[in-house]
Amino acid sequence: DKYHATKNQPRGGASSKFTMPGKDFLTRLQRAEFAKWTDTSLARGYTTVLAGTGCAISGQALRDVVSKTGRSGPWSYDSQVEDFELTYQIRKLGYFCQVSRTVRAYTDSMKTIKSLWNQRMKWQVGTVEDLLRIGVNRLTMIDWWQQVCGLLMAALRVLWVVVLAGLTVLQELKFTWLWIVIVPLLFTGTELYSALRIPNRDRLDIVCSLVIVPAEIFAWLRAAWFVAAWCEALHSKVTKRRKDRWQLQYAAESSN
Looking at the predicted structure, is the pLDDT value of residue 66 above 80? yes
The residue ranking higher by pLDDT, 95 or 181, is: 95
In tens, the pLDDT along 89-112 reads 999 999 999 988 888 888 888 889
The pLDDT of 51-68, averaged and rounded, is: 90
Q: How many CB atoms lie under 10 A from the CB of residue 79? A: 17
**DSSP-derived pairing of the beta strands 11-19 and 96-106:** parallel
Task: Specify which residues 96 forms β-bridges with.
Answer: 11
For 37, the 3-state DSSP assignment is helix
**pLDDT reported for residue 169:** 78
Q: Output b/e per residue, 126-161; b: 16+ Cβ within 10 A.
A: bbbbbbeebeeeeebeebeeebeebeeebeebeeee
Sign of CA dihedral 148, 104, 194, 23: negative
In the sheet with 55-57, reading across from the earlier edge strand, the strands are 55-57, 11-19, 96-106
**pLDDT reported for residue 4:** 35
Residues with Cβ within 8 Å of 86's Cβ and at least 6 positions away in sequence, in order, are 50, 57, 65, 74, 75, 76
**pTM for this model (two decimals):** 0.85
- CA dist 195 to 29, 37, 164, Å? 10, 12, 29
Cα angle for residues 174, 212, 181 (degrees, 5° grid): 35
Looking at the predicted structure, is the pLDDT value of residue 5 above 50? no
Residues with Cβ within 8 Å of 104's Cβ and at least 6 positions away in sequence, in order, are 16, 17, 18, 19, 54, 199
**pLDDT reported for residue 9:** 56
